[in-house]
Amino acid sequence: MSDFNDSLIDVSSDSFWEVGNYKRSVKRVDDGNRLCNDLMSCLHERARIEKSYSTQLTDWAKRWRQTIEKGPQYGTVERAWCALMTEAEKVSDLHMEVKAALMAEDFEKIKNWQKDAYHKQMIGGFKETKEAEDGFRKAQKPWAKKLKEMETMKKAYHTACKEEKTATSRENSSKLDNSNPEAQKKLQEKVEKCQQEVQKTKERYEKSLEDLDKVTPQYMENMEQVFEQWQQFEGKRLSFFKEVLLEVKQHLDLSSNHKYTTVYHTLQDTIQGADPQEDLKWFRSNHGPGMTMNWPQFEEWSMDLNRTLSRRETKRRPAEGVTLTAISHNPEQSSRVSSSAAVEKAPAPAAITAADDDDDEESGNPFSSSSANGNPFEEEPSTEMCVPVRAVYDYEGQEQDELSFKAGDELVKLSEEDEQGWCKGRLSNGTVGLYPANYVEDLQ
């Protein structure tokens, strides 16, 4: 083993056949495991992006749908505009499906394949890496040993050649200097001895090369076999990655999803269905010259009345009791009334002080218990439910009668979800108002 370790030095080229250069093939096994982790991280990050985009689309659609429905736009063009919000909601659902597919299918598939392909050892590293290292080491060891012997013979031969050249140079110098014949004789004998050593080491060097050449074919065959084994192992990983990436593409490619295509066909049909002339006709009939009118006409004086009232005045006379001045005609807001509602003929109770009025004004909450008598659409306490819930997302109330809360806040649900997705609730500070039902979860 020590001979093999010593042979790992002085690599003269970058060739695979050089001693120790098989380690790049061994490292590829470890790299394959790391690439599985990288691909899973890549998909996990994309899934987070899909979820974030989905959430932003939903929030955008909810906010703008409320703005449009409370705004002055009307008729078929309003429906066409709101169709953009419907598109966003449906596309949001599709992107959540993409996120779910990336994590539940693609991510898990890579994780399971990695677990089956790479087996961790108790001492660290992977079983497959050790098998590759041992296979290449065993195939290279005989050849590496012969290579080391050949390098030793080559070094001895080159050393002998150097000594022979030095001895010859000294002998020639001695002849030119007419040195002592005895000294010249010794130098000549040194040259002859060096020449003999050169010949001897040359023969050994050539013999070691022959021995190395004999084992080279077997060495190449053994290394080829080990290399091919791990080529196939890597080939499985590459094929698996290609398969997974194609599945990821299918999940990401919404253009091939019939649901996605339907969303935009529906959007186009809704927008194309907008009829500006029909909207103008509706506005003329409901808010313009097309409206009916009780034109003034002559009326006889009646003794039974203290004064003469025309039919027009009678119709416009305010009714006693509650007068609602800003009721929305939109179905989604049929259960919600603007804070401009006023109560006529409802004198303030003597028990309510000026300080109480100030508190109500500061809270700005039409559902406040201190202003219950002034809230004509608050439900009777006996009909309310009391279900504890927790906010899942942050919500900032867009209207005066809406609650604002942060994710994690706890509140009490006082009514079931209406057709438009709203619930009535009470915060921990006693504030009562409306909130989106899908922003909370039950604690029971």
Per-residue model confidence as pLDDT tens digits over 41-82: 999 999 999 999 999 999 999 999 999 999 999 999 999 999
Phi, psi of 207 (to 5 degrees): -65, -40
Q: What is the pLDDT of residue 350?
A: 34
Question: Does residue 8 register a pLDDT over 90?
Answer: no
Q: What is the pLDDT of residue 304?
A: 59
Question: Does residue 309 register a pLDDT over 90?
Answer: no
Give the mean model confidence (pLDDT) for residues 31-40. Answer: 96
Cα–Cα distance, 148 to 380 (Å, whole number): 99
Cα–Cα distance, 4 to 362 (Å, whole number): 87
- CA torsion through residues 313, 319, 325, 329, sign: negative
Give the mean model confidence (pLDDT) for residues 147-174. Answer: 90
Q: What is the pLDDT of residue 384?
A: 64
Q: What is the pLDDT of residue 200?
A: 93
Which secondary structure element, helix H or strand E, spans residue 422, and what is its range?
Answer: strand 422-427
Read off the tokens for 127: 């079983």
Phi, psi of 349 (to 5 degrees): -65, 150
Nearest residue to 99 via CA among 169, 168, 53, 47:
47
Cα–Cα distance, 260 to 253 (Å, whole number): 10
Nearest residue to 409 via CA among 433, 430, 393:
393
Grade residue 12 by pLDDT with cuts at 50, 70 and 90.
low
Phi, psi of 291 (to 5 degrees): -70, 145
Phi, psi of 39 (to 5 degrees): -65, -40
- Least confident range of 109-118, 362-371, 386-395, 400-409: 362-371
Q: Is 233 exposed, middle or buried (0-12, 13-18, 19+ CB in 10 A)?
A: middle
At 356, is the secondary structure helix, strand, or coil? helix
Give the mean model confidence (pLDDT) for residues 413-430. Answer: 91
Which secondary structure element, helix H or strand E, spans residue 297, and what is its range?
Answer: none
At 330, is the secondary structure helix, strand, or coil? coil
Kindly provide the residue ranges of all beta strands, DSSP E only, lying in 180-277, ordered along the sequence: none
Instruction: Choose between 76 and 187: higher pLDDT.
Output: 76
Cα–Cα distance, 86 to 35 (Å, whole number): 40
Give me the percent of the chain exceeding a pLDDT of 70.
78
At 320, is the secondary structure helix, strand, or coil? coil
Average pLDDT taken over every residue of the chain? 82
H helices present in 102-180, as ranges: 108-117, 127-176
Count of alpha carbons within 13 angstroms of residue 129, beta-carbon side = 18
Cα–Cα distance, 175 to 158 (Å, whole number): 26
Give the mean model confidence (pLDDT) for residues 109-134. Answer: 94
Q: What is the pLDDT of residue 236?
A: 96
Q: What is the pLDDT of residue 326?
A: 38
Model confidence pTM above 0.85 = no
Question: Does residue 299 register a pLDDT over 90?
Answer: no
Q: Which residues does 351 contact at the CB level (< 8 Å), separation at least 6?
A: none
Grade residue 347 by pLDDT with cuts at 50, 70 and 90.
very low
* Residue 45 CB neighbours (<10 A): 11
DSSP per-residue codes, 224-246: HHHHHHHHHHHHHHHHHHHHHHH
Contact (CB, 8 A) for 316 and 294 = no
Buried b (16+ CB within 10 A) or exposed e, 181-202: eeebeebeebbeebbebbeebb
Cα three-residue angle 429-434-439, rounded to 5 degrees: 90
Sheet of 387-391, strand order: 432-436, 422-427, 410-413, 387-391, 440-442
Strand partners, 387: 413
Grade residue 305 by pLDDT with cuts at 50, 70 and 90.
low
Q: What is the pLDDT of residue 142?
A: 93
Q: What is the pLDDT of residue 356?
A: 40
Read off the tokens for 57: 């689309």
Q: Computed over its alpha carbons, how large is the radius of gyration of the chain?
A: 47
Give the mean model confidence (pLDDT) for residues 121-145. Answer: 93
